Amino acid sequence: MSQIYKIGVSCAVAAVFMAGMAVAAEGEGWKTSLALGANVNQGNTETMGVNAALTTGRATGKMEYRLGIEANYGENTTMAEDGSENTDKTAQNAKAHANIKYRLNGTYWYTDDSILHDEIGGIDYRAIIGVGGGLYAMDNAKDKLGLEIGLAYIIDEFESGEDDDGVSLRLAARHDHTFSETAKCWASVEYLPNMDDFEDYLLNAEIGTETMLNSTLSLRVVAQDRYDGEPPDGLEANDLSLVAALVYTH
């Protein structure tokens, strides 16, 4: 596939995200939240990390939407014996994602799309365009468990100059649980094996909790894990992050 075509597809996916977020900001029935988090440690070793996430969602009639943009940055500074400082980036990534469902009687069609940039992980960009079907194993006031199966087209461009694209099987599950009016949690997992080589796969997982502090502010803690079955040379297969943030919900 030509480089121009890859960039065109990625830009198209990004445009869908931005259009969706713009519609959500102006439309009725959307629940939008902005999460901001930071940590700073000083001493012989100085660390700094910031993260931000904008998410919005809506469920009305037969349609369900979940859209979001998130970014993380971190650095670590150490002091040498001669007094000089050495600063290393520990995180620099951004991701946009969109999940849209068309509900039937207990089942649904979906599209699940994302685009990722991760400088530390060596990913210039990774675009995933997924479509398929799903069903709700649970769907009540406290629990919603969706199981999905479909196909995903994945385009990878790495910082090393390598690139790859192909069709993968997509198996996914997401469970949302509401403890009370002020507390909830969720967990999701996504398995994406390449249709031509099942040893070449991606595994994405997330678990999180959110507790309301007042009518507009909440505390959110999220753990995210991303595993690449065949990472580029010199890079680790697993990326794990833990984020705590204050969330403003409108």
**pLDDT tens digits, one per residue of 92-137:** 899 999 999 999 988 999 999 999 999 888 889 999 999 999 999 9
Residue 145 pLDDT: 97
Beta-bridge mates of residue 131: 111, 151
pLDDT interval class at 87 (50, 70, 90): confident
Residue 4 pLDDT: 44
- Supply the mean pLDDT for the chain: 85
Total structural domains within the chain: 1
Residue 5 pLDDT: 45
pLDDT greater than 60 at residue 34: yes
Residue 3 pLDDT: 45
Residue 1 pLDDT: 43
Q: Which is higher by pLDDT, 30 or 130?
A: 130
Residue by residue, DSSP assigns 23-41 as: HHHHSSS-EEEEEEEEEEE
- 210: CB partners within 8 A, 6+ apart: 183, 184, 185, 218, 219, 220, 221, 247
pLDDT digits (tens, 9 = 90+) for 137-182: 999 999 999 999 999 999 999 887 778 889 999 999 999 999 999 9
Cβ of 61: how many Cβ atoms within 10 Å?
7
Residue 2 pLDDT: 46
Of these ranges, 47-56, 70-79, 124-133, 237-246, the one predicted with the greatest mean pLDDT is 124-133
| Phi/psi at 229 (5° precision) | -65, -30
Which CATH number does the domain housing residue 239 bear?
2.40.160.40
Q: Which is higher by pLDDT, 189 or 40?
A: 189
Q: How far is CA 68 from CA 42, 52, 144, 154, 208, in A?
A: 32, 11, 20, 19, 15
Give the end-to-end CA distance of the chain in Å, rounded to a whole number.
Answer: 42
- 2: CB partners within 8 A, 6+ apart: none
136: domain range? 3-249
Rounded to 5°, angle at Cα 34 from 108 and 13 = 50
Give per-residue burial for 99-111: e unless 16+ CB within 10 Å, then b: bbbebeeeebbbe
Q: Where are the alpha helices (DSSP H) in 101-202?
A: none
**70 residue type, one letter:** E
Can you give the length of the chain in residues?
250
